A = this chain, B = another copy of it.
Amino acid sequence: MSERRDLVSEHHPALLKVAELGEHGVLERIRARVPPAPPWVTVGIGDDAAVVEPMRGRLDVVTTDAMVEGVHFDRAFGTPADLGHKALAINLSDLAAMGAEPRIGVLSLVLPPDLLIVDLDQLLDGLLVLAAQHRLALVGGNLARSPGPLCINVTAIGSARRRTVLTRNGVQPKDGLYVTGSIGGAAAGLEWLKAHSQAPDTNTEMAACVTRFLRPQPRVRAGLRVARNRIATAAMDLSDGLADAVTQLTRPPGLGAVIEADTIPVQDAARRWFAARGHDPIVAALSGGEDYELLFTLPERPRSRARLLAQLVKPLSVTRIGTITAAPGLVLRRTTGDEPLPPGFSHF
CA of A92 to CA of B238 in the docked complex: distance in angstroms?
Answer: 33
A149 partner, pick from B61, B65, B148, B158, beta carbons under 8 A: B148
Is B167 touching A68 in the complex (CB atoms < 8 A)? no
Chain A: interface residue total (CB-CB under 8 A): 71
Question: Chain A, 141-166, contact with B by CB distance < 8 Å: what is the 0/1 string?
Answer: 11111111101010101101010010
CA of A54 to CA of B94 in the docked complex: distance in angstroms?
Answer: 19
Is A63 touching B42 in the complex (CB atoms < 8 A)? no
The smallest C-beta distance from A31 to any residue of chain B, in angstroms, reads: 12
Query: From A244, which residue of chain B is reached at the shortest CB distance?
Result: B24
A313 within 8 A of B: no
A106 partner, pick from B59, B62, B68, B70, beta carbons under 8 A: B62
Is A153 touching B66 in the complex (CB atoms < 8 A)? yes
A167 partner, pick from B47, B63, B97, B347, beta carbons under 8 A: B47
Chain A positions 74-121 with a Cβ under 8 Å from a chain B Cβ: 93-95, 97-98, 100, 104, 106-108, 110, 113
Is A66 touching B110 in the complex (CB atoms < 8 A)? yes
A48 within 8 A of B: yes
CA of A210 to CA of B144 in the docked complex: distance in angstroms?
Answer: 22
Is B142 touching A66 in the complex (CB atoms < 8 A)? yes
A140 within 8 A of B: yes
Query: From A347, which residue of chain B is reached at the shortest CB distance?
Result: B144
Chain B residues, CB < 8 A from A70? 147-148
Is B145 touching A47 in the complex (CB atoms < 8 A)? no
Is B108 touching A236 in the complex (CB atoms < 8 A)? no
Is A59 touching B51 in the complex (CB atoms < 8 A)? yes
CA of A145 to CA of B26 in the docked complex: distance in angstroms?
Answer: 27
Is A108 touching B66 in the complex (CB atoms < 8 A)? yes
Query: From A146, which residue of chain B is reached at the shortest CB distance?
Result: B68
A346 within 8 A of B: yes
A291 within 8 A of B: no
The smallest C-beta distance from A315 to any residue of chain B, in angstroms, reads: 23
A49 within 8 A of B: yes
* Oligomeric state, in copies: 2
Is A48 touching B237 in the complex (CB atoms < 8 A)? yes
The smallest C-beta distance from A93 to any residue of chain B, in angstroms, reads: 8
Is B61 touching A49 in the complex (CB atoms < 8 A)? yes
CA of A62 to CA of B333 in the docked complex: distance in angstroms?
Answer: 47
CA of A97 to CA of B53 in the docked complex: distance in angstroms?
Answer: 18
Is A60 touching B68 in the complex (CB atoms < 8 A)? no
Chain B residues, CB < 8 A from A49? 61-63, 94-95, 97-98, 100, 158
Given contacts A62-B139, A106-B63, A168-B46, A146 and B147 within 8 Å (CB-CB): no
Is A65 touching B167 in the complex (CB atoms < 8 A)? no
- Most chain B CB within 10 A, of A19, A51, A168, is at A51
Is A147 touching B145 in the complex (CB atoms < 8 A)? no
The smallest C-beta distance from A347 to any residue of chain B, in angstroms, reads: 6
Chain B residues, CB < 8 A from A61? 49-52
Given contacts A43-B165, A66-B108, 14 further A-B contacts (CB under 8 A): A43-B167, A48-B168, A49-B97, A49-B158, A50-B61, A52-B59, A52-B61, A53-B60, A54-B60, A64-B153, A65-B142, A70-B147, A108-B153, A113-B348
